A and B are shown apart, each in its own frame.
Chain A
Amino acid sequence: MPKDDELAAALIAARAGDERGFAVLWRALHPAMLRYLQVIAGDAAEDVASETWLQAARDLDRFTGDPAAFRAWLFHIARHRGIDEQRRAGRRREEPAATVDDGAAGRDAAAEVLEGAETAWALNRVAELPADQAEAVMLRIVAGLDVAATAAILGKRRGAVRIATMRGLRRLAADPQVRVRAQRKGVTA
Chain B
Amino acid sequence: MRLPAWWTAVTSRTSTRAGRARGRALDDADRLAAGASSGDPALNSLLDALRAPATPAESSRDQAMIAALAAERRRTLSTRSPHPAPEKNPGAADPPARKRVRSRTVIASVAAAAALLAGSGTAVAARGGNLPAGVQQQAHRLFSGLGVPAPATGESPPASSPRSSAGSSPAPTPAVTPSPVTEPAAPGGSSPAGSSPAGTSTTGSGATTVAWCAAWQTAEDGGHPMNGRDRRDLTAAAGGAENVAAYCEAATTTATTTGTASAPTSAGPSSGTTATTEPGKATKSKKPKKSKEAKD
Chain A residues with a Cβ under 8 A of chain B: 12-19, 21-23, 26-27, 30-31, 34-35, 43-44, 46-48, 50-51, 53-54, 57-58, 60-61, 88-91, 113-116, 118-119, 121-123, 125-126, 138, 140-142, 144, 147, 159, 162-163, 165-166, 169-170, 172-173, 178-179, 181-183, 185, 187-189
Q: Are B40 and A173 in contact (CB under 8 A)?
A: yes
Total chain B interface residues with beta-carbon distance under 8 A: 60
| B59 close to A53 (CB less than 8 A) | no
The complex places the Cα of A35 from the Cα of B229 at a distance, in Å, of 20
Contacts of A169 in B (CB 8 A): 29, 32, 38, 43
- For the A-B complex, the count of residue pairs with Cβ-Cβ distances under 8 Å equals 183
Bound CA span A90–B288, Å = 8
- Can you list 10 A-B pairs with a CB-CB distance of less than 8 A? A12-B89, A21-B70, A30-B54, A30-B62, A60-B76, A88-B287, A89-B287, A118-B49, A147-B30, A187-B44
Please tell me if the beta carbons of B56 and A31 are within 8 angstroms of each other in the complex. no
Chain B interface, DSSP helix/strand/loop, else mixed: helix
* In the assembled complex, B57 has its CB within 8 A of some CB on chain A: yes
Which B residues are in CB contact (< 8 Å) with A22? Answer: 66, 69-70, 73
A contact residues around B46 at 8 Å (CB): 122, 125, 172, 178, 182
Q: Is the CB of B56 within 8 A of A114?
A: yes
Which 6 A-B residue pairs are closest in the complex by CB-CB distance?
A47-B228, A116-B55, A182-B42, A166-B29, A17-B74, A122-B49
Question: Are A141 and B47 in contact, CB atoms less than 8 angstroms apart?
Answer: yes
Interface hub of B26, B46, B77, B92 (most chain A Cβ within 10 A):
B46
* Chain A residues positioned under 8 Å from B159 (CB to CB): none
| Alpha-carbon distance between A114 and B65 when the two chains are bound, in angstroms | 22
Cβ 8 A contact of A16, one of B65, B89, B229, B232: B89
With beta carbons under 8 angstroms apart, the residue of A57, A119, A125, A162 that contacts B52 is: A119
- List B contacts of A30 (CB < 8 A): 54, 58-59, 62, 65
> A179 and B42: CB pair below 8 A?
yes
Contacting A at CB under 8 A, from B10-56, are 10-11, 25-26, 28-30, 32-33, 35, 38, 40-47, 49-56
Q: Are B68 and A187 neighbours in the complex by a CB distance under 8 Å? A: no
Instruction: Please choose the segment from B80-88, B120-128, B202-210, B258-266 that sits at the chain A interface, where 4 or more of its residues have CB less than 8 A away.
Output: B80-88
List chain B residues, Cβ under 8 A from A46. Answer: 61, 228
B56 contacts which chain A residues (CB < 8 A)? 114-116
Determine if A61 and B62 form an interchain contact, defined as CB atoms under 8 angstroms apart.
Answer: no
A90 to chain B: which residues have CB within 8 Å?
Answer: 288
Which residues of chain A have C-beta atoms less than 8 A from B291's C-beta?
A: 43, 89
Most buried by B among A54, A60, A88: A54
B73 and A58: CB pair below 8 A?
Answer: yes
Asked whether, in the complex, the Cβ of A50 is within 8 Å of the Cβ of B228, the reply is yes
For B236, list chain A residues within 8 Å (CB): none
Point out the residue from A53, A114, A142 that lies within 8 Å of B51, measured CB to CB. A142
* Cβ-defined partner of A141 (8 Å) among B50, B58, B61, B93: B50
Provide the residues of chain B in CB contact with A183, threshold 8 Å.
Answer: 42
Report the minimum CB–CB distance from A108 to chain B (whole Å): 15
**Other A-B pairs beyond A116-B52, A187-B42, A189-B41, 15, CB < 8 Å:** A12-B88, A17-B70, A17-B74, A17-B93, A35-B50, A47-B232, A54-B69, A114-B56, A116-B55, A116-B58, A126-B50, A141-B51, A166-B25, A173-B40, A181-B45
Q: Are A115 and B77 in contact (CB under 8 A)?
A: no
Which residue of the partner chain, among A57, A91, A163, A181, contacts B72 with CB atoms under 8 Å?
A: A57
- Name the distance in Å between A56's Cβ and chain B's nearest Cβ: 8
CA A185 – CA B42 in complex, angstroms? Answer: 10
Mask for B89-123, Cβ within 8 A of A = 1, else 0? 10011000010000000000000000000000000
Q: Does B225 contact A (CB under 8 A)?
A: yes
* B79: min CB distance to chain A, Å: 10
Q: How close is B71's CB to chain A, nearest CB, in angstroms? A: 8
Measured between C-beta atoms, what is the minimum distance from B192 to chain A in Å?
Answer: 13
Closest to B32 in A: A169
Tell me, in angstroms, the Cα distance from A61 to B77 when the chains sit together.
Answer: 9
- Chain B residues whose C-beta falls within 8 Å of the C-beta of A123 in the assembled complex: 50
Residue numbers in B under 8 Å from A88 (CB-CB): 287
* Structural contact, A119 and B50, CB atoms closer than 8 A: yes
> Which listed residue, A121, A162, A179, A188, touches B49 by the CB 8 Å rule?
A121
